[in-house]
A and B are shown apart, each in its own frame.
Chain A
Amino acid sequence: MPSLKDIRTRITSVKSTQQITKAMKMIAGVKMRRAHDAVLGARPYAAKLEALVRHLAAAGAEAAHPLLEQRPVKRATMIVMTSDRGLCGGFNSQLLRAVETHIKGHAEGRYEVIAVGRKGRDFLRKRGHKVVADHEGMGGHVTPEFARELVAGPIAAYEGGETDQLILAFNTFKSAISQVPTLEPILPVPVPEAEEGEAGGEASYLFEPGEAALLADLLPRYVANRVLRALFESEASEHSARMAAMDAATNNADELIRSLTLTMNRARQAIITKEILEIVGGAEALASS
């Protein structure tokens, strides 16, 4: 039976842990809202850019570009987006599991990984995957410039024939309680399907300075924008996952405190009962003598 003092110490320590998880939950909530705004803010540009690629692809099928070229996949590159810090539930593990399953299913050894986030880098290194580059400290500092730099290497490698596919691995932000691990191939550039009722009338575009030049300008930006959106999604997912995890932890701490308090009260009552019995026993012994 633990002493009263032991239990009291435990309650205090659980309480202070709870304070931390509560604070982390609130911070994650604020950061999630900010990251979610970034996801929403990036949408109009992304939609317009996608429409442009679609128009160009529909108008000039003959204007092929190296980034559109499909080839048999011998070597592939993967950009894996995880968090720098833990305490965010299954956020990192569910994504890394999906990444490993994919790599195993497509012959190991021909995958090169670019890790964004410390957790993914450490895990994949330890598992013996080829991590060729890594970035950390991106939380809250994702910019279009960073996305462009991040993808410049793989684009050059693709054009030079050193890699045949580029895949983005990240958690899609579905809602505050749901993040979905996503593997999205972005090189060769998948041409977006034409939307209903949009066909026709596109051939009449006036292109300046010409379809091929436009495409050459557009495609790298399109790829970089996909990366940027994935980074935003990943960050929003991270904070929402952490918020959910910290909410659960705070509730668990409540439960623990309740059951510890019960044990403490029981122990205290037991001591009082014992003392009364001793006093009564002692008084009777005196009276009978």
Chain B
Amino acid sequence: MEVAIVTPTGEVFSGEADSVVGPGGAGEFGILPGHTAFLSTLLEGPVVVRQGRDEQRFQITGGFAEVHGDRVVILADGVAETAQ
């Protein structure tokens, strides 16, 4: 599935991924391909994007997540740091 992480000042990440984990407003959630349409708030915390063995971690300061079809969009207020 396609994942994009965007902040008000630009796109931070865009690409294919096998799974996404995020700090949802109603508890941490994980998204795998084929997830139902989904909209959630995000709290401060790490968003983890996995593709095969690769894992990328984005420390966000809050925002929203939207899943629609095969696309995951993370709207982050800001990204504090990223790590491979």
Contacts and interface: CB of A to CB of B under 8 A. Distances in A.
Interface in B68-83: 73, 75, 77-78
B25 A206 contact: no
A281 to B, nearest CB: 80
Interface string A25-67: 0000000000000100110111011001001100000000000
Interface residue tally on B, bucketed by range: 20 to 34
Interface of A is mostly: helix
Contacts of B77: 144, 221
Contact of A205 (B7, B25, B38, B73): B38
Interface residues of A, number: 29
A49 B40 contact: no
Contacts of A208: 24-26, 29, 38-41
Given A49-B75, A221-B77, A206 B10 contact: no
Nearest to B35: A206
Interface of B is mostly: strand
Nearest to A37: B10
Given A38-B9, A41-B9, A48 B73 contact: yes
Nearest to A217: B41
A204 interface: yes
Contacts of B38: 205-206, 208
Interface string B6-42: 1111110000000000001110010000001111110
Interface in B49-64: 63-64
